[in-house]
Chain A
């Protein structure tokens, strides 16, 4: 229990809650202990979180004679946990963000509150740096024969782009989400400025039907490899080697990246797979995750049956608080056995964009080491 809440409980009904709250930041975090606090009138308040392995709903206790509710939780150091509070008044139920917590994380569904464990800090390289030169972002649209329709996205040209140089190509699945929720444009600008990755061309691609097209869809692999990449290479000075081409994706985007590389072995020399939805079964093809995962399961089962080296370097990351940690941990030794260089990083985080943002530096700088040892401007 955190000492602050212990102090409040010890004071009993006479406690001056306004005074107690003054100057404190919430949730209270002391070492491995955290106390969530909510103040207001309600019949029930519950913590709703997304940590795999823990009860997803836990009740806050009300301090007798007050309208202050609290819940003690364990929060390992450097953890990030996204959550909401469920407030019930009569038969009305509402999920809200914690009004006392200033930390928010956004995603395509809205925003969550973030409980930051002791020692967690938002990495400085994820924040806009006024000293960093900015790359250029421009929308693009190309007609895809594979899909029989246009595909759109954004093209990132690095700061000080020159046609006389050759650049690696980074293809980012769910590109708009990576930009909006993981700040990828800022991350690329900063990592290039810091010389931690080389100047590179990135293409942020989107899919109108990602759960289908990213789930080992032959059309997607063909689009990315036979249409997008060659057309970009015609227009831009791109390195024409596998090590100069990277596929990046999270969740189903990770499946899209891996399955595309499997369909086009040794074309994509770099893979950055974040919390990939690598569902598989050891017997049969029915996965507990539902029918959307069936093509993924078929693909993963086949890959697991006969894993082959399809790239040169593969960076895999996953949060330990997400259910996919099992699948990702299982995948790594298989990739490793093929002879590919594999690096696996686990984080005390969940299946969310800020986890993927926070791991991007380690992944990108390992896949594309920058010239920081050689350049002193």
Chain B
């Protein structure tokens, strides 16, 4: 899409919903009584297993079935499917090479932090190391975006009959809804489907509710993370651009199991990598509304600070 569509007026980001479902009360708190369009493409082939979600929302819903639609697109438009696979292969290679370089930059940062040296020298060198990581993150983000855009332009994506047909159906479904609920799951699967059908450009004045991986996908930049994986040091990495429905935040769901918020070194480095964007941890039950781009009514969200501390997110002064 050449020109980014305006952001929706209200976007609500929430923590994971599986064990502590707060979505329904948040939706009702905004006096939203449906119909609500559901996007559960992150669940992949389980996309249709949305009964629990529909019961929880207790209003009229319509699942946009983006995952199944993309299967149909692949079946009907072989050339597009082939080009899409090639793009995904390129992206996987890009991610792989980025990861190789990133691991070295992070290892260098770790070594620098362990060194003893005059404070001002250490600060300068450590700052340069973080700048190198930031430059690499930014480079990778640009590269991924270029690959996506080249694919979309080369294939005339939104002019292809099968895509047009689905987009018209989706637009029609959306026209009857006053909100969109975006579930988490596999973030790449979700992002690819939302991009494939240009969902951002199809949104009009619907409110958006997104949780867990869904929240990551609607942010500007998707950061994959896990501080305590069973293998390796747990290096956070940029996956690519999100839909950009909310500005200036990096969405980090599942902090209890995925983040070591008691480790100032890790917290500070993550925050500094993406500064001035705010790294926000969304535990279960947390939520925040972005009203016309401004952050309002945050609840139980932790902000990771560049100095390595964590603070409870407060409402931004207008």
Contacts and interface: CB of A to CB of B under 8 A. Distances in A.
Interface string A13-25: 0000000000000
A374 B188 contact: yes
Contacts of A162: 45-46
Q: Kindly name the residue among B18, B231, B237 whose own CB sees the greatest number of chain A CB atoms within 10 A.
A: B231
Interface stretch (A36-44, A247-255, A361-369): A361-369
B317 interface: no
B253 interface: yes
Given A365-B230, A374-B187, A160 B46 contact: yes
Contacts of A362: 230-231
Contacts, number: 53
A375 interface: yes
Nearest to A377: B184
Contacts of B231: 362, 365-366, 369
A375 B226 contact: no
A374 B253 CA distance: 12
Given A162-B45, A365-B231, A377 B213 contact: yes
A376 B184 contact: yes
A163 to B, nearest CB: 10
A131 B224 contact: no
Contact of B226 (A160, A361, A366, A373): A373
B184 A164 contact: no
B88 interface: no
B230 A361 contact: yes
Contact of A196 (B16, B187, B188, B230): B230
Nearest to B224: A373
Interface string A125-165: 00000010000000000000000000000000000101011
Interface in B180-208: 184-188
B45 A376 contact: no
A376 B212 CA distance: 6
A284 to B, nearest CB: 41
A376 B46 contact: no
A89 interface: no
A371 interface: yes
B216 A165 contact: no
A376 B185 contact: yes
Contacts of A131: 19
Interface in A183-203: 191, 194, 196
A12 to B, nearest CB: 46
Contacts of A377: 16, 18, 42, 184-185, 212-213
Contacts of B45: 162, 164-165
Contact of B213 (A164, A196, A375): A375
A372 interface: yes
Nearest to A125: B230
B230 A374 contact: no
Interface in B29-60: 42, 45-46
A376 B254 contact: yes
Interface in B222-271: 224-226, 229-231, 237, 253-254, 257
A375 B19 contact: no
A375 B187 contact: yes
Interface residues of B, number: 24
Contacts of A373: 224-226, 229, 237
Given A162-B46, A366-B231, A376 B188 contact: no
B185 A375 contact: yes
Interface string A105-129: 0000000000000000000000000
Contacts of B184: 375-377
Contacts of B19: 131
B186 A375 contact: yes
Contacts of B46: 160, 162
A362 B230 CA distance: 6
Interface in A22-63: none
Contacts of B16: 376-377
Given A162-B45, A164-B45, A194-B257, A372 B229 contact: yes
Contacts of A372: 226, 229
Contacts of B257: 194
A344 to B, nearest CB: 15
Interface string B5-16: 000000000001
Contacts of B216: 376
Contacts of A160: 46
Given A162-B45, A365-B231, A366-B231, A374 B224 contact: yes
A160 B229 CA distance: 23
A131 B256 CA distance: 14
A164 B185 CA distance: 18
B279 to A, nearest CB: 15
A376 B230 contact: no
A366 B212 CA distance: 26
Nearest to A366: B231
Contacts of B42: 375, 377
Contacts of A374: 186-188, 224
Interface of B: 16, 18-19, 42, 45-46, 184-188, 212-213, 216, 224-226, 229-231, 237, 253-254, 257
24 contacts: A160-B46, A162-B45, A164-B45, A191-B230, A194-B257, A196-B229, A196-B230, A361-B230, A366-B230, A369-B231, A373-B226, A373-B229, A375-B42, A375-B184, A375-B213, A376-B16, A376-B184, A376-B212, A376-B213, A376-B253, A376-B254, A377-B16, A377-B42, A377-B184
Given A365-B231, A374-B224, A377-B18, 15 more contacts: A196-B229, A196-B230, A365-B230, A366-B230, A373-B229, A374-B186, A374-B187, A374-B188, A375-B187, A376-B185, A376-B212, A376-B253, A377-B42, A377-B185, A377-B212
Interface of A: 131, 160, 162, 164-165, 191, 194, 196, 361-362, 365-366, 369, 371-377
Of all A-B residue pairs in the complex, the 7 with the closest CB atoms, nearest first, are A376-B213, A365-B230, A373-B224, A376-B212, A376-B184, A196-B230, A376-B253
